[in-house]
Amino acid sequence: MTVEAAAYETRHHQVAGDPLVEARFASGLTAYVAPKARFSQKYAVLAVHYGSIDSRFVPRGRGEVVEVPAGIAHFLEHKLFEKQEGDVFTRFAELGASANAYTSYTTTAYLFSTVDHFREALSVLLRFVQEPYFTEASVRKEQGIIEQEIRMYEDDPSRCVMVKLMQSLYHVHPVRLEIGGTVESIRKIEVPVLYLCHSTFYHPANAVLAVAGDVAPDEVFELAGEAMGGSREDGRGVVRLDPEEPAGVHSPRAQTRLAVSRPRLALGIKDVKRELSGKELVRRELAINLALDAVLGRSSDTFQELYEEGLIDDTFAARYVCDSRFAHTVTGGETPDPDRLEVRLKEALARACDQGVDADTVERLRRREIGEFIASVDNPEMIANALAVLHFRGVTPLDYLEVLEELDHRAVTEALRDHVDPARMAVSVVLPNGRNGVETGGASRGGAGGAHWR
């Protein structure tokens, strides 16, 4: 692809004492560079605003709505690494770079980490993502690999409990489907539909590049400009169609049996669709997460009580996850008694809505957030990935600090009261199948939800 190098406009910021430079190109591409002097690692991520929930859309330049098989964004991510001349991995490996990719509900991201040959590796990244090459044979081959990836997750209790929770919370929204799809759905994927998804979503205006490490911003922007900066036919406003999702939950309870030693509970609270974006979305996310920390976090009375009663352990967590198209809280972990834990969690949430969150607690949690924000800057991968994901919400990390400044205990309490509603709660339980282990016991770490990796 030959596109003339386009001029770009830059903006300079400071994040926790470090510089952050942002550039906007005529093509619609945005690029961020977070220079990290003294660091050896140079990390780049090229992300596309396209994830597992983008299953119904109007293809670019067409009128009709299409619906594609579950797991296709992730499948496409795998397949982009294969080209006529061979595997892109080989090219990265020759340069000494380590490449990878992941797909989440909303984002597909391609990345590499390197210490040398950064320029060459960045050029490879910028180009391979834009150049699809799919064949019948390679699609069939990938089905075997992804089938094993799906099977692996099917044996993972933390994953399993989340999948069933999403299916309980949501009636029709595609967030209820596993990011990787199912063995059956991926067998339906064929070459033409992969090209269709690529041409619809893989446009510079629907993408972001984020780089962190000891690199010069101008060098990155110059390369990005050559590869993706020139003006293109308008790629803004991809039409994504979510089905009409009822406010209530699909089913209040799901139960699965697995070869595990101990039960695991996930309690979900579904949010009604608000279509928030930018700082409004950040405000709601921060307010509800601070509230959840105040009510169920490690420094809360409830955590202390439940831990002492043996109902929870280090696997316990509570987190509000949000996007403009869906939002929910997930809380839980391994427990000897899912029923009792469910009751206790619901009581704690109800009590907190009643009594509110106090100012001292919010102040303490705010200090923690500030510290964690500063600490995250020590990790180039974390900075670049955060910049990419936040970009699709229309914000930068700086907006988090600003919103954090503004939030007080009243706003936190109000957000909690608005979110917590017994009619929008569901629980998912994984129980031991009784053959491979005893009925109680166990403690494997592992976050809920998350992304599918290449």
Catalytic residue positions, numbered? 77
Q: Does 334 sit near another protein (CB under 8 A)?
A: yes
Neighbouring C-beta atoms of residue 34, cutoff 10 Å: 24
333 bridge partner residues:
265
Please tell me the count of residues contacting another protein according to CB under 8 A: 78
Cβ 230 to another protein shortest distance, Å? 32
Say which residues have a Cβ less than 8 Å from residue 85's Cβ, sequence separation at least 6: none
Whole-number Å distance between alpha carbons of 289 and 415: 10
Q: Does 116 sit near another protein (CB under 8 A)?
A: yes
* Chosen residue from 17, 61, 63, 192 binding another protein by CB under 8 A: 17
Q: Does 329 sit near another protein (CB under 8 A)?
A: no
Closer residue to another protein (CB): 10 or 40:
40
Q: Does 262 sit near another protein (CB under 8 A)?
A: yes
* Chosen residue from 258, 282, 290, 387 binding another protein by CB under 8 A: 258
Cβ 182 to another protein shortest distance, Å? 12
Closer residue to another protein (CB): 200 or 331:
331
β-sheet with 239-240: strand ranges across = 66-67, 56-58, 239-240
* Beta strand segments in 264-396, E: 264-270, 317-322, 327-334
Taking contact as CB under 8 A, which single stretch among the options 47-55, 125-133, 143-151, 195-203 is the one that binds another protein? 143-151
Q: Does 172 sit near another protein (CB under 8 A)?
A: no
| Residues 196 and 282 sit within 8 Å (Cβ to Cβ) | no
Q: Does 261 sit near another protein (CB under 8 A)?
A: yes
Whole-number Å distance between alpha carbons of 118 and 37: 15
Straight-line distance from the first to the last Cα atom of the chain, in angstroms, rounded to the nearest whole number: 26
Q: Does 255 sit near another protein (CB under 8 A)?
A: no
Q: Of residues 90-109, which lie at the interface with another protein (CB under 8 A)?
A: 90, 93-99
Q: Does 337 sit near another protein (CB under 8 A)?
A: no
* Chosen residue from 156, 242, 408, 418 binding another protein by CB under 8 A: 156
Closer residue to another protein (CB): 150 or 208:
150
Closer residue to another protein (CB): 182 or 277:
182
Please give the structure tokens belonging to residue 245. Answer: 């999702």
* Chosen residue from 20, 23, 146, 383 binding another protein by CB under 8 A: 146
Cβ 316 to another protein shortest distance, Å? 11
Q: Does 256 sit near another protein (CB under 8 A)?
A: no
Q: Does 406 sit near another protein (CB under 8 A)?
A: no
Q: Does 84 sit near another protein (CB under 8 A)?
A: no
Residue span 197-236 as binding mask against another protein, x where in contact by CB under 8 A, dash where not: ----------------------------------------
Q: Does 259 sit near another protein (CB under 8 A)?
A: yes
Please give the structure tokens belonging to residue 327. Answer: 């939002």
Cβ 286 to another protein shortest distance, Å? 14
Q: Does 351 sit near another protein (CB under 8 A)?
A: no
Q: Of residues 361-390, which lie at the interface with another protein (CB under 8 A)?
A: 364-365, 367-372, 374-375, 377-380
Alpha-carbon Rg for the chain in angstroms? 22
